[in-house]
Structure 1
Amino acid sequence: MKMPPYQGLEHHQRGMGATIVLFMIALIALVGAALAYANRGNPARITSESARVFSAVLLKQSADFRDAYSRFVFDGGDVATMTFNAAGVPAGDLFNPATQYGVYQAPPAQALAPGAVVAWRYNRSTAVTGIGSTAPESIAWLADVAQPVCAQVNNQMYGTPAIPLAALTQAEVGAPGATISLTPAGRATGCFATADNRFVFYSTLGES
């Protein structure tokens, strides 16, 4: 007997919901594994498995920051003056505990090169080719990402571990008005190599 259209739609929605739930369970398991791995100390060599785990953590953290940013904007926050500080101050900070748009999460130190500053950075005026209009974007980014983790970020996002090269140094990434021009273009989140042979993870928080 032919299923009524609305029943077919309901069945499809249940299937999509189950898929999303399974994906979230797998992601939570990866994050848990990363935290357990981090407690072992900072290994001298990153394995392919640990690179996959740490890349998943970076992707999850950046997605949480993007959600917090969206809530901030929806609530009428001024992105021109918004700050991005781990302490959540001043009042217009994305992580201010009074507004509860989001919670700052430190990246796992093992995802970064030895001696790197273990902290997320924020730019409100970075152009990313192929994203939004010609106006600059707001991005969260990490300097000195370990190369295997960088490759796994792109592999998980786009199905290839290839790391595109940007024609700017890591220091220039943080400069006001910087342009991240990559091939292929149009990646809102990803990892790239800089002209001074370092690796940067970035994620746009909101497109212009």
Structure 2
Amino acid sequence: MNNLEKDQSRLGERGNVLFLILIAVALFAALSYAVTQSTRSSGGDAGKETNKISSAQLTQYPASVRTSIVRMIIGGQDVDTLEFNAPEDFTNCTESPPSSNRFPRCVFHPSGGGATHVTAPGSLMTNGNPGGWIFNGENEIENVGTTTTAGVASSTVDLIAFLPGVSQGVCESINEELGISTTQGDIQEDSIEYLSSSNMTNPNGSTATSLAAGGASIGETSTALVGQPFGCFYDSNGNADNGGAAQYIYYHVLVER
């Protein structure tokens, strides 16, 4: 083989090697793209799954409080006079009989409802801090209990647990799991009184609690929540007690009326 033939052979080999390198680069790029897309997809699925788990946690707690309240009502307690004092405020619950150290109206006291008083995990909340539940008797849900039209009356208000400040992802997951349509974006309710529990907390041991109309009807602004005993809505205007900050709120009916 002369020198010319040798040079041509080497050029052919180099061309083949270059071609193989280009194929390897293309395959590596394709593999990298596939891995990136898979990671992104897995990350999204993981986030969605986390929200589902969080939403399940959220619905379980008020359901347990509801069970305690049902036992209290069966035992003869009037829902109008239930007291939601926190453990550090048990001494202000109504003692009956006097000086007996028994507080039959107190939902969280061992001698009352025996319900557990807890805060919601920070992982469920927008600000990352534990969230406080509000037990309120000022609002109602349209088509829940005896209420079939919008409007609030003291005889038809529902006893509701509210958790203001949940994250958007958790809020959306809750409504999705409940089959509540959110195709038009956030479910807005702007007139609900969800930050005050004063009418359901005994401040001094002698002031009776009561269910009193002062809020609004959930389902009046957005029909998506009509007939829904629990769900999540968005308050775009914010509540005066919250400094007017917009936020997502989970609600759960404890007693329908």
TM-score by length of 2: 0.57
Contact 2:162 2:252 in 1 (8 A): yes
- How far apart, CA to CA, are the structure 2 residues paired with 1:142 and 1:113? 12
Contact 1:139 1:202 in 2 (8 A): yes
133 and 159 in structure 1: CA distance in 2 versus 1, 3 angstrom threshold: closer
Q: Secondary structure at the match of 1:123?
A: strand
Deviations 1:18-59 (A, max 9, x none): xxxxxxxxxxxxxxxxxxxxxxxxxxxx93222111111011
Contact 1:153 1:190 in 2 (8 A): yes
Q: State which of 141, 158, 170 in structure 1 corresponds to 2:162.
A: 141
Q: How does 1:26-45 map to 2 (within 5 A)?
A: none
- Per-residue deviation at 1:191? 0.4
- How far apart, CA to CA, are the structure 2 residues paired with 1:160 and 1:101? 36
User: Equivalent pairs: percent with the same residue?
Assistant: 25
**Matched positions, count:** 161
Quick one: which amino acid aligns to residue 190 of structure 2? A
Which residue number corresponds to residue 190 of structure 1? 231
Once superposed, which parts of structure 1, at least 4 consecutive aligned residues long, lie more than 6 Å away?
A: none
Q: Secondary structure at the match of 2:81?
A: coil
TM-score by length of 1: 0.69
Gaps of 5+ in 1: 1-45
Larger Rg: 2
Which residue number corresponds to residue 82 of structure 1? 82
Q: Secondary structure at the match of 1:130?
A: coil
- How far apart, CA to CA, are the structure 2 residues paired with 1:129 and 1:174? 20
- Per-residue deviation at 1:177? 2.0
Q: Secondary structure at the match of 1:80?
A: helix
- How far apart, CA to CA, are the structure 2 residues paired with 1:159 and 1:124? 24
137 and 100 in structure 1: CA distance in 2 versus 1, 3 angstrom threshold: closer
Gaps of 5+ in 2: 1-45, 94-102, 148-155, 197-212, 238-245
Contact 2:71 2:113 in 1 (8 A): no
Residue range with higher mean Cα deviation, 144-153 or 62-71: 62-71
Contact 2:72 2:113 in 1 (8 A): no
Contact 2:164 2:195 in 1 (8 A): no
